[in-house]
A and B are shown apart, each in its own frame.
Chain A
Amino acid sequence: MTNMGSDFVTLGADVGGKDAFIAVNQHVLGLRTLLRQECFKGTGDSLDEIALVLRVDGSVQAWGKTGIGNISLQKKKRFVTGDIFVPADVWSTGDAVSIRRFLMDQVTYAIRLVVEYVNQEGISLDGESLEDALENVRQLYLDGTGIKGVSDEWH
């Protein structure tokens, strides 16, 4: 598989407060970097991007939800978006392991849902290779190794 230059899986973050940002930013950057390194567009895939967005509850703004939502396919622009809602409970304890597990699980689940959704819409997307890539990401992310440019002092 070849990286075509642009990121296939992107992980944006809409954070509802500075407190939430301080708690999750390092973990989000780590996961974002690994997704960029490991997840590439398959040769037969019709989509250019899977754009996931974390909606992190904070002191200024809270969505009050958890899980995946708002999966939306933009056929003409060849990308699909989905929201991952992160409640304050996840980051307020400050436990890095639980934050990372939550983020990794939700991203994996979101990508599975996206693959299922776009396949139903008649758009080809290689779910198996993405699953393999996500497995690699999981190992590196939860181990804290192999994240270039990101400190692994989160343990």
Chain B
Amino acid sequence: MPGVLALANRTRIKTSHRQRRKAASAHLVYILNNPLSGVDPTGYAACSLDDEASCLLQDGGVNTIVNKAGDTIATTVVADKGQNLTVTGNGGSISATFTGRTGDISRVLAGGPPSDIGAISQRTNGTLDGTAASYALGQDKSPGSTFDFMAADQQAQSKADFEAYRAHTFANEGLEPFAIHPLEAVFQTAQGTYNEIDQTGDLSMESAGTLAVSAMAAMLHVPMAGGRSVTKKAPHGNKIDSRPATLYEKYDKDGNFLKHGITRHENPSKRYTAKQINGGTVVRTDRGPRSEIVKKERDLVERDPGQDNREPWAGNRREE
């Protein structure tokens, strides 16, 4: 294969490096956009979004799925039970008897570091068996093992890990996690595919197609089955809703009552800093949904305000 990159270099086409790489990728996805490696081990096929699902099964091996722009958006691996696959890319290669497990092979394809066969073997307790349908999620940063459908316990753990990772990531960005429905759909489809293989020893075209399509939908954040895939901004801190909140009382160094207050701590073990406490005392008196805690705070401030409660309604019902 005369690499398009090499051709572009020779003819000195005046396009940006990125444009040339993008143009080249449309033609070179089947050898993982790495024409210089010169390795085309199994004649991987590229299926486009417009192709029939059967495209995934025509050639077997690693099928790269591309969109109309030629960008790789997903990879489906179709192979017979026990078939040896060699995947080359990202500066390394791995060979494995294909087990139907996602993760290691997928990660290499998705641009992650090369893995080794030992890692795959270890995850199956040394037993490499099973058949044959897998996929990768391209540049999706979720752990490959999230979609590991070979072992139920690992499955559950992976899902939990992924949820935690996802929640953590979005929390750090001050965002609310979007609904997981599209990814959940992929997971459930994968589970169904495995069950089919387990029971029949074979994989139908429909299943492979559904799996690939749902994986692509997840990649593209296309809503499926009523799921949302829109990233929402976090609500304003003062918004009254069902988020957890803590009611507290604040006292100064000498024990004089200063105020009733309310704070939101998503993580209840989060500490008030020494500066916030300022040598005095903070007493957490109640905890619950913000909508309820706000009402309690209002009632307390109206009836028994501290000197730092400067709300307009402070002390309105002092005589009650």
* A residues at B contact (CB < 8 Å): 7, 10-18, 20-21, 25, 28-29, 32, 36, 51-53, 55, 58, 60-61, 63, 70, 79, 81, 83, 149
For the complex, give the distance between the alpha carbons of A81 and B279 in Å. 11
Question: What residues on B are CB-neighbors of A51 within 8 Å?
Answer: 274-275, 279
Asked whether A13 lies within 8 Å of B286 as measured between CB atoms, the reply is no
- 5 contacting pairs across A/B (C-beta < 8 A): A12-B274, A12-B281, A15-B282, A18-B283, A61-B269
Question: What residues on A are CB-neighbors of B274 within 8 Å?
Answer: 10, 12, 51-53, 79, 81
Asked whether B277 lies within 8 Å of A63 as measured between CB atoms, the reply is no
Question: What residues on A are CB-neighbors of B286 within 8 Å?
Answer: 60
Question: What residues on A are CB-neighbors of B255 within 8 Å?
Answer: 25, 29
Asked whether B284 lies within 8 Å of A60 as measured between CB atoms, the reply is yes
Q: How many residues belonging to B are interface residues under a CB distance threshold of 8 Å? A: 23
Question: What residues on A are CB-neighbors of B271 within 8 Å?
Answer: 14, 53, 55, 70, 83
For the complex, give the distance between the alpha carbons of A18 and B275 in Å. 22
Q: Which of B279-318 contact A (CB under 8 A)?
A: 279-287
Asked whether B277 lies within 8 Å of A60 as measured between CB atoms, the reply is no
* B residues at A contact (CB < 8 Å): 246, 249, 253-255, 268-269, 271-275, 277-287
For the complex, give the distance between the alpha carbons of A76 and B268 in Å. 29
When C-beta atoms are compared, the residue in chain B nearest to A24 turns out to be: B281
Looking at the complex, which one of B268, B273, B278, B281 makes contact with A15 (CB distance below 8 Å)?
B281
A-B pairs with lowest CB-CB distance, top 8: A12-B277, A10-B279, A51-B274, A13-B281, A81-B274, A21-B283, A15-B283, A60-B284
Contact A29/B254 with A18-B285, A60-B285, A63-B269 known, Cβ cut-off 8 Å: yes
Asked whether B287 lies within 8 Å of A60 as measured between CB atoms, the reply is yes
Asked whether A53 lies within 8 Å of B277 as measured between CB atoms, the reply is yes
Looking at the complex, which one of A28, A36, A81, A83 makes contact with B281 (CB distance below 8 Å)?
A28
A39: min CB distance to chain B, Å: 13
Asked whether A14 lies within 8 Å of B282 as measured between CB atoms, the reply is yes
Point out which of B246, B272, B278, B281 has the most chain A C-beta atoms below 10 A from its C-beta: B281
Q: 5 new A-B pairs (CB below 8 Å) besides A21-B281, A53-B271?
A: A12-B278, A14-B272, A14-B284, A53-B272, A60-B246
For the complex, give the distance between the alpha carbons of A16 and B268 in Å. 10
For the complex, give the distance between the alpha carbons of A70 and B270 in Å. 12
A65: min CB distance to chain B, Å: 10
Question: What residues on B are CB-neighbors of A7 within 8 Å?
Answer: 253, 279
B317: min CB distance to chain A, Å: 21
Question: What residues on A are CB-neighbors of B281 within 8 Å?
Answer: 12-15, 21, 25, 28
Asked whether A12 lies within 8 Å of B285 as measured between CB atoms, the reply is no
Question: What residues on A are CB-neighbors of B282 within 8 Å?
Answer: 12-15
Question: What residues on B are CB-neighbors of A20 within 8 Å?
Answer: 283
For the complex, give the distance between the alpha carbons of A20 and B85 in Å. 64
Question: What residues on A are CB-neighbors of B253 within 8 Å?
Answer: 7, 10, 32, 36
